[in-house]
Structure 1
């Protein structure tokens, strides 16, 4: 079953509250293609590899978490950016990208989907009044920091980038998928036992050690594989679309 592109984009923008969330890139339709959408390829990032899969499978749209036109990036459409966009335009493939709106959505968001994968209970965002708040707090079954590290590596099928243990049981957590290491001090101030994100900076380790919380960098890509997949599955059920999720390997 095919749907009108503009109607689908308007529906997604409404569901994901794009007008209420300030972001580092445009959310929604980034590259215009066919006005009818029947087949969607979903993925984390609109890389050349994902585009080529969309081309080979005759997709009408790409639905991703990481699209294009980021704040402060060069504006000229040359080199890698030109090749990607040219390929989309040649095959009339729409590019739909949702960054922060997909991180924070209570049903399909990356934070929610990571909690489901790990069997964590969500208490809510750290700031309930900020629609773009990407730091979430919650609870898990009491476990050692080593057990948490093992569970993350096993369920994400990826070795941890960085792990700072703590000598106490972990029950209260804060997390932010992707590049959320800058939230560690805010997480520590909330009194959590552990903070989980995708990436690590040099100062993150010192913050974790000196504030006595466990820290886990489980991979930017690895922690954000699940939002676009969940949203795609929802669209498949809601509109009877042909949707496929492709996980282009990325060790980051």
Structure 2
């Protein structure tokens, strides 16, 4: 049975509490397509290759973490943006995007899903004083070397993480925030973490890790954010009896 687009949208907005976030982009329905949904595609980013794959699969809607209309971007509908929007409109395919709400959800979110896959326990907020903050801290059941954790991340993401720290050091308390959250390394150190994991690394991150006495692991922006959108799509598909698929797109960053 198809679900009405408005009902699917209401379910996602309510589940993720999207209205409480002040974000860098609009959360929820970004491009409106057909009014009923049978097939739902999910992806990290709504780039052209993902759009083409979704159209080829016959998706009625595409659910992503990284959508469009970011704060500060050019408002003109030209070039790459025109082609992307043209693909959606020609296929009558809706685009739903959730950025910070999908990072933050305590079960379906990117950070929750990453922590589960890493076998971390006792999740706490990385910044408990900020109601919109994302990221978590947690503990490992058994102290594990940084090198062993790097191997675990490699198996999970199918890529080598960049590591700042001694591979022999033992780690019990970990902080993490998926995507481009390397700037939270000071919060991780203040929370007593021995290791901080995020997606990307910047030149200052190296110095901060060394001077704060905390190991850092850059596991990939795309690679660390593949799981939240899949969890949300699976939950939506089960709720409304929809077909769904995940479209992955290689991204070395």
In the TM superposition, what is the alpha-carbon distance from 1:132 to its structure 2 partner? 2.1
Looking at structure 2, the residues matched to 122 and 184 of structure 1 have their Cα atoms a distance apart, in angstroms, of 20
SS in 1 for 2:40: strand
CA RMSD of aligned residues (A): 1.1
Matching residue of 1:150: 151
1:185 matched to which residue of 2? 186
Matches within 5 A, 1:63-212: 63-140=63-140, 141-160=142-161, 162-166=162-166, 168-212=169-213
SS in 1 for 2:74: coil
Question: Per-residue displacement from partner, 1:118-150 (whole Å, max 9, x unpaired)?
Answer: 111142212335342112111113111111111
Q: In 2, distance between residues paired with 1:168 and 1:67?
A: 39
* Preserved CA contact (<8 Å) 1:146 1:165: no
| Cα-to-partner distance string for 1:179-218 (whole Å, 9 max, x where unaligned) | 0000001111111100000000000011101111110000
The alignment's TM-score, normalised by the length of structure 2, stands at: 0.96
List, as ranges, runs of 4+ consecutive aligned residues in structure 1 with deviation greater than 4 Å.
none
- CA distance in 2 between counterparts of 1:42 and 1:185 reads 33
Give CA-to-partner distance per residue, 1:46-84, whole Å, 9 cap, x none.
011111111111111000000000011111111001000
**Structure 2: gaps (5+ residues):** none
Match of 1:214? 215
**Offset at 1:248?**
1.2
Matched residues, number: 251
Q: What's the TM-score, normalizing by structure 1?
A: 0.97
